[in-house]
Amino acid sequence: MFRRFLKPASLAAASSGLDRYLGLLILAAAAALLAGWLLPVMTVRTLLVFYDEVSILTGAYRLLEGGDYLIFLVIVVFTVVLPVGKLVLAYLAWAWLRVEDPRVRRTLRAIEALGRWSMLDVFVAAILVVVIKLSLISDVEIHAGLYVFMAAVILSMIAVRRIAILAHRKLETPGG
């Protein structure tokens, strides 16, 4: 159905079976990433009276407001910039680049380099929760945003790995 929108000789055009749905998997990862940024990831209760729901983006904004520029930058780079870059490059490699195009190898290397940092964002969020939980005056309740964000990371890792496998197979096969 969507084959007419794909570039000829791209991985997407040559895909069969479940691999035909890698584009949808990338879109699902992007949707989960957006939801993970916006949904509350935790509620912090202090002294059983005050509570605050925090999403990834509101937490980053509060760091910026508070003058914690380095932490703000780390959070934005590892939870916004790198995941978006990885998804965009993965989609381009799958749907638009011809397998024999020399840019495919560079794009795959870039995707794989970004993929190495994929779990760092989840690790940062987990460390944040642990630090707050260790505080004697605060209680932290985890919300769906953290799980949706982790799902986005996992979906993108699956899609990127599968695209890399398909591309490497195509590049190794004589005649593309």
106 domain-assigned: yes
pLDDT of residue 66: 86
- CATH number (domain holding residue 105): 1.20.140
Band (59; pLDDT cuts 50, 70, 90): confident
Please return the burial class of 86, using the count of CB atoms within 10 Å of its CB with bins 0-12, 13-18 and 19+: buried
- Give 67 or 115, the one with higher predicted confidence: 67
pLDDT of residue 98: 75
2 domain-assigned: no
Backbone phi and psi for residue 54, each to the nearest 5 degrees, phi listed first: -125, 130
pLDDT of residue 121: 60
Classified as helix, coil or strand, 126 is helix
Distance between CA atoms of 124 and 71, rounded to whole angstroms? 10
Band (1; pLDDT cuts 50, 70, 90): very low
For the chain, the domain total comes to 1
12 domain-assigned: no
Backbone phi and psi for residue 52, each to the nearest 5 degrees, phi listed first: -150, 120
pLDDT of residue 28: 97
150 domain-assigned: yes
Band (34; pLDDT cuts 50, 70, 90): very high
120 domain-assigned: yes
- Give 62 or 97, the one with higher predicted confidence: 62
93 domain-assigned: yes
pLDDT above 50 (res 36): yes
1 domain-assigned: no
30 domain-assigned: yes
pTM (2 decimals)?
0.81
Q: Which domain holds residue 155?
A: 19-172
